[in-house]
């Protein structure tokens, strides 16, 4: 089945090559393409992250490339040596995105090829991450390899994580259950924290927006003795409600949020290390109908959510003389929510406990890693206890990598999970890396599974009040494959990736209500959800100027709920593209121009249209640095693209699952200006 999928990926590209080549020629000439801050883990693209602009030959890469070590695969390899395709957003890219959106990581990820940050609730602004056209619930969000945002990160999770203390972001696309179990069916995003240096360092950033938003973040790090270092990050974020089309519904929800996260790092003389992290966050979010206004039914339908999250985690690495290294990871997270959907109030709690122990060793050209893991996910609702669950999943996993030659590496991994509700599942994954001269080739096939919960996108947006208790669901399973080719010569770099996935037993909502009694239930859809596509990246770097162009093609279909056959997966643009030009001089400042094109996308159950219009977003960024102080100004969505310029967000009538708004297929905030000052101390 996996071989057939790999053949389908190649065939799909061959059949679609005319379209893939044609689109950039037409759309990109009319529409400058968006930047791609995440670069595939090839020699060519790893070089572009850290190396200078002059030619970078494969032979002398060690002198020219700053080492980027990947954590998401547990092997601690350099990014260019990973057989598994890992894409890395470097600290340099994070610094740029912090100036655009310092309050959360949504923009950091949304401007990345193959990733789409999809708004799931225009009422509260919640969003999730779709990887290569797959639903957001399949994406596992980690912090230093730990599930600190829960086994299934909520759709508001992206909007509650500040990027200030991130050192890099690692992305694995496609089924990654062989690495991280049932929550990683579609891929993994690992947020890697900054490591403190040997000198005290501090940073304060103040940001204001033209939509009455304010952000204040602070970060500090320092050595704390011979073997100890520490860091702390905190933030205060506020946004007022905005009704941009004056229809009585908040196009931009209001929120007030605080967060704090201290970290401790220890390194022993023998090479043993430990990392302890603690986190706390509180937020009140307010959306829906504005005070004194109503929805078409005449009711005052407010939407609010109060969140409290507390988490802690420990990562330790202990060398065992002449044998290898012992690794330990443990974490705990508790999230409490108070939701309001009109007259319905929901009070619930999510908890995740995680533990993992593994041992890694190497013999000649072969490296091995084997381990055990266990995760417990608990949900309790005071309002709807029928949906309470406790999932416990112990697992065994093994990974092996073997260098057949200097330029050829094979990697294999497998994980056996025993889910307390959805049974046992074996998830294998096989990868190959071939690096002849300036070329880099990768191929990967793998399988995975996902354990369903009540929280699909529609339920997170509308609550549990109209959902029937879960009954008879099966685990969702997937097969994925990708082929990648990269090339670099002097200042020019290029990369193309072909990908595909098949998901069986995908969970979806079905209307089972009778007149006057709206009710929905979750079922396993018959047939397969199929995704085929490609990603293309081109980059040119000359002295202090770089230009990056990207294009992503996605063809995603799923069983049609209306009858036999398949339909295009809603809210999945077939064509997206972008271009960014950046001038940057260290210690002086930067100027950037960027553009993002989003093509047509099918829309489900929208009374105003069945297809979203293609649109172009333009942006500009400028930063001036004087000593330890910088002043920045960012212009986002210069053309003022806004969905409510075409149609209302509010529906004429409520859907059976309880939503009052249509799906968001375009920006809802329009043209926004933000600017501020960043001050650095020490270092």
Say if residues 287 and 297 touch (Cβ distance below 8 Å): no
Closest to 237 measured CA to CA, from 207, 202, 278: 207
Q: Strands of 97-246 (E only): list them.
A: 115-121, 126-131, 139-143, 166-173, 187-193, 201-209, 213-223, 228-239
Say if residues 103 and 422 touch (Cβ distance below 8 Å): no
Would the pLDDT of 100 be above 80?
yes
Q: Beta strand 324-341 with 302-320: parallel, antiparallel or unpaired?
A: antiparallel
Say if residues 290 and 243 touch (Cβ distance below 8 Å): yes
d(CA 304, CA 342): 9
Per cent of the chain over pLDDT 70 is 90
Pair of tokens at residue 169: 């972001």
Range list of H helices, 270-408: none
Residue-level pLDDT at 76: 73
Residue 55: pLDDT band with limits 50, 70, 90: very low
Q: Is 309 helix (H, G, I), strand (E, B) or coil?
A: strand
d(CA 373, CA 58): 38
Closest to 244 measured CA to CA, from 559, 649, 570, 639: 649
Give the domain CATH number at 62.
2.40.170.20
Instruction: State the number of CA atoms in the 13 A half-sphere of 41 facing the CB.
Output: 29
Residue 1: pLDDT band with limits 50, 70, 90: low
List all residues 6 or more positions away from 314 whose beta carbon is below 8 Å from its beta carbon: 274, 275, 276, 277, 328, 329, 330, 331
d(CA 287, CA 159): 15
Q: At CA 483, angle to CA 45 and CA 450, rounded to 5? A: 105
Q: At CA 552, angle to CA 548 and CA 555, rounded to 5? A: 180
What's the mean pLDDT in 131-158?
86
Q: Is 168 helix (H, G, I), strand (E, B) or coil?
A: strand
Pair of tokens at residue 109: 């990820």
Residue-level pLDDT at 493: 93
Closest to 35 measured CA to CA, from 666, 631, 621: 621
Pair of tokens at residue 47: 């070089």
Residue-level pLDDT at 5: 63
Would the pLDDT of 38 be above 80?
no
Residue-level pLDDT at 2: 56
d(CA 135, CA 116): 10
Domain count for the chain: 1
Looking at per-residue confidence, does 72 or 246 come out higher? 246
Helices and strands, number each (H, E), in the chain: 8, 33
Say if residues 547 and 581 touch (Cβ distance below 8 Å): yes
DSSP state of 196: P
List all residues 6 or more positions away from 567 whose beta carbon is below 8 Å from its beta carbon: 557, 558, 559, 560, 602
Reported as a single tens digit per residue, the pLDDT across 624-680 is 999 999 999 999 999 999 999 999 999 999 999 999 999 999 999 999 999 999 999
Residue 61: pLDDT band with limits 50, 70, 90: very low
Reported as a single tens digit per residue, the pLDDT across 239-290 is 999 999 999 999 999 999 999 999 999 999 889 999 999 999 999 999 999 9
Would the pLDDT of 36 be above 60?
no
Compute how many other C-beta atoms are within 10 angstroms of the C-beta atom of residue 602.
Answer: 18
Considering only 11-25, 97-111, 118-132, 610-624, which range has the smallest mean pLDDT?
11-25
Q: Is 306 helix (H, G, I), strand (E, B) or coil?
A: strand
Residue-level pLDDT at 384: 97
Residue-level pLDDT at 175: 81
What separation in angstroms does the CA of 338 have from each of 157, 284, 335, 348?
Answer: 15, 9, 10, 7
Range list of H helices, 166-268: 177-180
Query: DSSP letter string over 96-111?
Result: HHHHH-TT-SHHHHHT
DSSP state of 644: G
Residue 8: pLDDT band with limits 50, 70, 90: low
Pair of tokens at residue 394: 């112990």
Please provide the average confidence, as pLDDT, over all residues in the chain.
88
Domain that holds residue 418: 2-682
pTM for the model: 0.88
What's the mean pLDDT in 468-487?
94
Q: At CA 491, angle to CA 486 and CA 496, rounded to 5? A: 20
Would the pLDDT of 11 be above 80?
no
Looking at per-residue confidence, does 175 or 266 come out higher? 266
**CA 396 to the chain's CA centroid:** 26
List all residues 6 or more positions away from 308 whose beta carbon is below 8 Å from its beta carbon: 281, 282, 335, 336
Query: 380: burial class by Cβ within 10 Å (0-12, 13-18, 19+)?
Result: middle
List all residues 6 or more positions away from 156 whose beta carbon is below 8 Å from its beta carbon: 124, 125, 126, 127, 283, 285, 305, 307
Q: Beta strand 545-559 with 575-585: parallel, antiparallel or unpaired?
A: antiparallel
What's the mean pLDDT in 22-33?
32
Looking at per-residue confidence, does 41 or 592 come out higher? 592
Residue-level pLDDT at 78: 79
């Amino acid at each position: 089945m996996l071989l057939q999928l790999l053949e389908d990926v190649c065939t799909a590209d061959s059949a679609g090559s005319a379209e893939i080549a044609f689109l950039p020629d037409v759309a990109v000439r009319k529409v400058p393409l968006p930047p791609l801050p995440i670069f595939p883990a090839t020699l060519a693209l790893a070089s572009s992250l850290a190396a200078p602009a002059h030619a970078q030959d494969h032979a002398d890469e060690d002198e020219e490339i700053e080492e980027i070590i990947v954590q998401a695969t547990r092997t601690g390899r350099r990014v260019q040596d990973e057989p598994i395709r890992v894409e890395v957003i470097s600290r340099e890219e994070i610094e740029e995105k912090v100036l655009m959106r310092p309050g959360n990581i949504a923009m950091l990820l949304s401007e990345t090829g193959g990733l789409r940050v999809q708004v799931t609730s225009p009422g509260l602004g919640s969003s999730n991450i779709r990887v290569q056209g797959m639903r957001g619930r399949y994406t596992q969000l980690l912090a230093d390899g730990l599930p600190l945002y829960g086994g299934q990160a909520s759709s508001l999770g992206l909007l509650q994580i500040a990027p200030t203390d991130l050192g890099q972001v690692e992305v694995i696309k496609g089924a990654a259950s062989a690495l991280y179990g049932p929550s990683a069916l579609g891929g993994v995003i690992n947020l890697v924290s900054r490591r403190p240096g040997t000198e005290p360092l501090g940073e304060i950033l103040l940001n204001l927006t033209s939509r009455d938003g304010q952000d204040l973040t602070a970060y500090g790090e320092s050595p704390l003795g011979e073997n100890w270092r520490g860091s702390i990050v905190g933030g205060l974020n506020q946004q007022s409600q905005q009704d941009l089309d004056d229809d009585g519904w908040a196009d931009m929800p209001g929120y007030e949020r605080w967060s704090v996260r201290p970290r401790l790092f220890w390194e022993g003389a023998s090479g043993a290390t430990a990392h302890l992290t603690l986190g706390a966050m509180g937020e009140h979010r307010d959306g829906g109908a504005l005070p004194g206004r109503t929805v078409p039914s005449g009711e005052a339908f407010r939407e609010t959510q109060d969140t409290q999250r507390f988490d802690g985690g420990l990562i330790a690495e202990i060398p065992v003389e002449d044998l290898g290294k012992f690794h330990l990871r443990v974490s705990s997270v508790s999230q409490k929510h108070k939701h309001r959907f009109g007259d319905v109030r929901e009070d619930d709690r999510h908890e995740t406990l995680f533990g993992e122990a593994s041992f890694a060793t190497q013999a000649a050209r072969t490296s091995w890693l084997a381990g055990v893991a266990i995760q417990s996910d608990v949900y309790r609702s005071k309002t709807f206890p029928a949906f309470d669950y406790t999932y416990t999943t112990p697992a065994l996993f093994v990974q092996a990598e073997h260098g057949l030659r200097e330029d050829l590496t094979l990697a294999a991994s497998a994980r056996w999970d025993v889910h307390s509700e959805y049974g046992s599942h074996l998830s294998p994954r096989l990868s190959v890396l071939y690096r002849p001269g300036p070329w880099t080739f990768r191929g990967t096939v793998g399988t995975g599974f996902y354990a369903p919960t009540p929280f699909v996108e529609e339920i997170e947006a509308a609550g549990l009040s109209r959902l029937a208790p879960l009954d008879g669901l099966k685990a969702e399973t997937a097969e994925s494959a990708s082929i990648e080719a990269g090339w670099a010569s002097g200042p020019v770099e290029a990369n193309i990736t072909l990908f595909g996935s098949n998901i069986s037993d995908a969970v979806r909502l079905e209307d089972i209500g009778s007149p006057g009694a709206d009710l929905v239930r979750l079922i396993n859809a018959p047939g397969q959800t199929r995704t085929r596509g490609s990603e293309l990246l081109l980059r040119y770097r000359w002295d202090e100027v770089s230009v990056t162009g990207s294009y992503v093609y996605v063809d995603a279909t799923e069983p049609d709920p209306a009858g036999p056959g398949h339909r295009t997966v809603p809210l999945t643009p077939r064509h997206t593209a972008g271009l960014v030009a950046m001038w940057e001089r260290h210690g002086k400042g930067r100027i950037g121009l960027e553009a993002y094109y989003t093509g047509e996308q099918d829309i489900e159950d929208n009374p105003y249209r069945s297809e979203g219009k293609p649109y172009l977003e333009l942006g500009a960024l400028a930063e001036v640095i004087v000593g330890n102080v910088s002043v920045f100004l960012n212009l986002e969505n210069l053309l003022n693209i806004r969905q409510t310029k075409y149609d209302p967000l509010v529906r004429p009538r409520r859907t059976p699952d309880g939503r009052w708004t249509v799906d968001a297929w375009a920006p809802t905030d329009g043209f926004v200006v933000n600017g501020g000052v960043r001050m650095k101390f020490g270092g």
